[in-house]
Amino acid sequence: MKLLIKNGRIVNPANNLEETFDILSENGIIKKIEKNITENSDVIINAKHKIVIPGLIDVHSHFRDPGETHKEDIISGCKAAETGGFTSIVCMANTNPVIDNEFVIKYIIDKAKKFSKVNIFPVASITKGMLGNELTEVGKLKKFGIVGISDDGKPVENASILRNSLLYSKMFNIPLFSHCERLDMTSGTVMNEGIMATSLGLIGAPNVSESAAIAADILIAESVNSKIHICHVSTKESVEIIRIAKKKGIKVTCETAPHYFSLTDEMVRGYNTNAKVNPPLRDHNDVLEIIKGLSDGTIDIIASDHAPHHEDDKNLPFCMAKCGIIGLETSLAIGMTFLVKKEKISLMELIKKMTLNPNKLINVDRGSIEVGKVSDITIFDEKEKWIVDAKKIKSKSKNSPFIGFELYGKVKYTIAAGEIIYKDD
């Protein structure tokens, strides 16, 4: 099986390449990257005036399978990924049952393989059942294909257990993803603290409930010389503390999600539960600092934090609605619209934060277009405008505050292991 992509502008951060070339894949592997390849092929894609990038990698998605498959299952989650240009997804452990044993891991990987070419990489929970007490058997589970550990959805509150888990993650060379939140400061809160919360009569969480947890986690990681990855950075102070830690040489990486560089808590006006998320949408100064962190390299990765919830969990009084925003189908376009188009970061930098840097974190030998590598490739039109339409969302859940937004950048093809798995018609 041969696939030829003609005349696309390749943007490949691994070698800083931004130039028009043809790409020939054979049996799922990239064979040639050259000008004017004329070889006979089974499939030819004309990518003229399109951008050709490594298949996107999302290091933070919640597929609700097993447990809440009415919100998302592995099949619909993969469909959403394909539509958004993602060829690799890290799925978080807060399923039911929790991903803390080989049976759940095997179930997820086998089901994903059966229904999609998207690579699904599970993380296991840090603590058994995500209960915060007993460490999950990381060493054993690594053999079954986990690429990280995380209790995401909540923090590991016990500092001693966190310290032990960091020692464990270092021993098995597997990244620990930390959801940083001081629950003693966020308990009872439903949005960001500030004028908007006051005017809506809702209880808000202060920025320090995130940044204080990040500072503590970083210091604990430093004390045992372990790496730590901070999930969904949303506040100004969080960016500042991570910037200082990196300068100091501490092995910290972090991600933010598209909604944290594009939206503020203004979005909650009218008690819009699709804008209810944890950490919450912050204010304008936070958004500015997140963008600064993206542009100066403090923030390494853009991850979707795709968190599907059913209408029944969103069409509720604000304080009762579930937290979460879907993101797989809009991440690239939000990055294009709010960062690249506004000249906050270059196209190369955006793609780096969605391909090369994610691969560096989870180490799955993807995220680059190179001869000899797996042919995971996304082709998109950087100029095409589209409107986010709930009816067209492939995810089973439609909980997006971006519905109705006009965005730039439309995925035209998603290719996994040399096979077209999504084509925009």
CB of 237 to Zn ion, least distance (A): 18
Q: How far is the CB of 250 from Zn ion (least distance, A)?
A: 21
Residue 94 touches which member of ligand DOR, Zn ion, none, C-beta under 5-8 Å by kind: ligand DOR
The contact set with ligand DOR (CB under 6 A) reads: 62, 94, 152-153, 179, 277-278, 307, 323-324
Report, in Å, the least distance between residue 60 CB and Zn ion.
6
| Residue 252 near residue 228, CB atoms below 8 Å | yes
In the bound complex, what is the minimum distance in angstroms from residue 37's beta carbon to ligand DOR? 44
> 423, 421, 415, 365: which is closest to 53 by C-alpha?
415
Q: Which of 283, 286, 305, 313 is catalytic?
A: 305
Partner touching 54 among ligand DOR, Zn ion, none, CB below 5 to 8 Å by kind? none
Of 308 and 409, CB closest to Zn ion = 308
Nearer to ligand DOR, 277 or 301 (CB): 277
Nearest CB to ligand DOR, comparing residues 31 and 306: 306
Which residue among 152, 265, 313, 382 contacts Zn ion (CB under 5 A)? 152
Write down the least CB distance from residue 368 to ligand DOR, Å. 30
Of 273 and 278, CB closest to ligand DOR: 278
Interacting stretch for Zn ion, rule CB under 5 A, among 5-13, 175-183, 337-345, 410-418? 175-183
Q: Does 329 bind Zn ion (CB under 5 A)?
A: no
274 versus 368: smaller Cβ distance to Zn ion: 274
Q: Which stretch in 4-12, 73-81, 169-177, 299-307 sits in contact with Zn ion by CB under 5 A?
A: 299-307
Selected binder of Zn ion within 179, 236, 282, 396 (CB under 5 A): 179
Six token digits for residue 162: 């966190």
Residue 367 interaction partner, one of Zn ion, ligand DOR, none, beta carbon < 5-8 Å per kind: none
Q: Which amino acid is at 222?
A: E
Among 305, 329, 376, 382, binds Zn ion (CB under 5 A): 305
Strand-pair partners of 374: 29
58 binds Zn ion (CB under 5 A): no
Choose the one of ligand DOR, Zn ion, none that binds residue 378, judging by a C-beta under 5 to 8 angstroms depending on kind: none
Beta carbon nearer to ligand DOR, 253 or 278: 278
Residues 6+ apart with CB under 8 A from 408: 333, 336, 337, 341, 382, 383, 384, 385
Judged by CB, which is closer to ligand DOR: 25, or 256? Answer: 256
CB of 232: closest distance to ligand DOR in angstroms? 7
- Residues whose CB falls within 8 Å of the CB of residue 45, separated by 6 or more in sequence, listed in order: 3, 4, 5, 6, 8, 379, 413, 420
Q: How far is the CB of 74 from Zn ion (least distance, A)?
A: 17
| Residue 323 near residue 275 (C-beta atoms within 8 A) | no
Length of the chain: 425
Pick the closest to residue 304 from 331, 285, 281 (CA basis).
331
Residues 6+ apart with CB under 8 A from 187: none
Stretch that binds Zn ion, among 44-52, 75-83, 158-166, 304-312 (CB under 5 A): 304-312
Strands 228-230 and 252-256: parallel
Q: Judged by CB under 5 A, does residue 255 bind Zn ion?
A: no
72 near Zn ion, judged by CB under 5 A: no
Q: Which residue is nearest to Zn ion (CB)?
A: 179
Partner from ligand DOR, Zn ion, none binding residue 277, C-beta < 5-8 Å depending on class? ligand DOR
Residue 152 known to be catalytic: no
Beta carbon nearer to ligand DOR, 22 or 100: 100
Euclidean distance between CA atoms 119 and 298, whole angstroms = 27
Residue 378 makes CB contacts below 8 A (sequence gap 6+) with 52, 53, 54, 55, 56, 85, 86, 87, 332, 411, 413, 414, 415
Q: How far is the CB of 162 from Zn ion (least distance, A)?
A: 15
- Subset of 203-232 contacting Zn ion (CB under 5 A): 231
Q: Which residues are catalytic?
A: 305
Interacting residue ranges for Zn ion, rule: CB under 5 A: 152, 179, 231, 305
